[in-house]
Chains A and B, each alone.
Chain A
Amino acid sequence: MAEFITDLSGHSFLRYALLTGVLASIACGIVGTYVVTRRITSVAGAIAHSILGGMGGARYCQVVLGWTWFDPLVGAVAAALVSAVIIAWVRIAAQEREDTVIGAVWAIGMAAGLLFIFRTPGYNEDLMSYLFGSILMVSPEDLWLIGGLDALVVGTGLLFYNKLLAVCFDEEFARIRGLRVDLYHILLLCLTALTVVLLVTVVGIVMVIALLTLPAAIASQLSRKLWHMMVLSSLLTLVFTTGGMAVSYGPDLPAGATIILIAGACYITTLLAVRVSGKVRA
């Protein structure tokens, strides 16, 4: 912990990592709140895993085809948005098949990614960093892209607050009031897709859902309004990512896993505390 703080001034990669955590936390709190209240965690899971296809494909293009501009992060954004639109479209066109499509997108994305990585010469370190996160390897160029995505997600998420609140609370009523619910559903899934990309750099594909939903789930226990929940879960995500990085740095533990375990411990503690205090009150 102390080592992390002293090294912070000397190593720029630590400062980039910290800044990535801060940026990702804001988007995570806002979009995680929508995801939890609209109950689309599994959609977020499918989008997250499909990202491997995009990242693997982009890396393959870079190494084998020499397309140096095709950064894995760009591939991730493309794959996430495509998956989001596919899943949203299926819900709108044929509601009853949504969960099948979620499973298909999830697995097909993973399979495509694995094949690309298998055919890309070099170390398989790529795969590990995509799956489990590589926050300490964020470059200044990545940081610009991350900052841009963050601004886009936060801006859109807040601008459409009233409409998204209505859609999450009571979709049918929103539709009757003339809101284009399908359009807002697509928008919400695209915001989820971009947020998932931001979080993948922090904790990796496998653990994204936890970081997206646990802070929001904790916050929902303590919030009376949706925007309270957003602020609180952003702060919690910030604490978890920064704390996880600081704790894991000294003993050289994987940062992503440490972040998730801290978040998970807080989630369970909150549930127990709420249960106990509820009993006392009753």
Chain B
Amino acid sequence: MDGSQTPVVEFDRVSFAYDGNLVLEDASFTVHEGDFFSLVGPNGGGKTTMLRLILGLIKARSGTVRVFGTSPERARSRIGYMPQKTALDPLFPVSVKDVVLMGRLGSLSAMGFYSREDRVCAEQALDMVEMRDFMHRPFSSLSGGQSQRVLLARALAVKPDLLILDEPTSNVDVVVENELYELLKRLNDSMTIMLVTHDLGFVSRYVKNVACVNRRLVTHPTCDISGEMISAVYGSDMHMIRHDAVTGRGDRHG
């Protein structure tokens, strides 16, 4: 990775437990600037816990989490976050533009109004995900893929240096998934990207580094994904499906 050894996210021997259940044990890894980093692993394996630690929503029981060399709370203003859509009320009466404007909450004036600049920012973010035409539509009327794009636009409206996505391709079809990853690949030129997914085979075409989490954590460059590694993490032999277009992975960094 050319001149990009600046650490963005650093975990140093981090452990976390929910109600006495250890979900993350002694995890250490670093995500560098410009990386396209994926966390994979089974459900309940600690992926989302790691995201929440990076976002400062929960605190590590032991070890340290540093983001942009500081505490997660202080680094928040530089992070764009896209949650799983399932966490939101599908009937909420709100327009697409108002959802994207929430990315500008951090710069909201004391009086609580969005500035002209905030609106421009929101529109640019909608342009990036090709959803400007839907600006005045109700968020509840969008399809799965469309609302994922809008939530991505909201994260981009932050103008982040680090983009974090939680299962960005859940509930969307393969075509939408492809488009989304192509878009993320373009965005990766200007920001560090970190995502959580359970879809290991697919993501390996795009990401540069993968960490497998199942309570413990194993980091690998993408080209190393192998049957042994998968079974080490998932605990059983799983079929690995080779997709087409795996060629050209060699010139990716790792």
Residues of chain A having any CB pair with chain B under 8 Å: 37, 39, 159-163, 165-166, 168-170, 172-179, 220, 223-226, 228-229
Contact = CB atoms under 8 A, between A and B. Distances in A.
A267 to B, nearest CB: 15
Given A160-B112, A224-B138, A176 B55 contact: yes
B76 A177 contact: yes
B55 A162 contact: no
A8 to B, nearest CB: 36
Contact of B98 (A37, A163, A177, A225): A225
Given A175-B57, A176-B76, A178-B77, A170 B95 contact: no
Interface in B51-80: 55-57, 76-77, 79
9 contacts: A159-B112, A160-B112, A162-B105, A166-B105, A172-B87, A176-B57, A220-B91, A220-B93, A226-B98
Contact of A229 (B81, B93, B98, B158): B93
Given A161-B112, A225-B95, A229-B93, 11 more contacts: A37-B92, A162-B108, A165-B94, A165-B102, A169-B99, A172-B87, A173-B102, A175-B57, A176-B55, A176-B57, A179-B105
Contacts of B99: 169
Contact of A223 (B56, B76, B93): B93
A166 B114 CA distance: 13
B69 to A, nearest CB: 19
Nearest to A175: B57
B83 interface: yes
B111 interface: yes
B93 A37 contact: yes
A39 B57 CA distance: 22
Contacts of B98: 165, 225-226
A170 B154 CA distance: 12
A229 B91 CA distance: 12
B195 to A, nearest CB: 16
B108 A163 contact: yes
B77 to A, nearest CB: 6
Contacts of B79: 176
A169 B95 CA distance: 11
Nearest to B102: A166
A215 to B, nearest CB: 14
Nearest to B91: A220
Nearest to A228: B93
B241 interface: no
B103 interface: yes
Given A163-B105, A223-B93, A173 B154 contact: yes
A166 B88 CA distance: 12
Nearest to B95: A225
Contacts of A220: 91, 93
Contact of B83 (A39, A160, A172): A172
A170 B88 contact: yes
The listed residue with most B CB atoms (<10 A of its CB), out of A160, A173, A220, is A173
Contacts of B56: 176
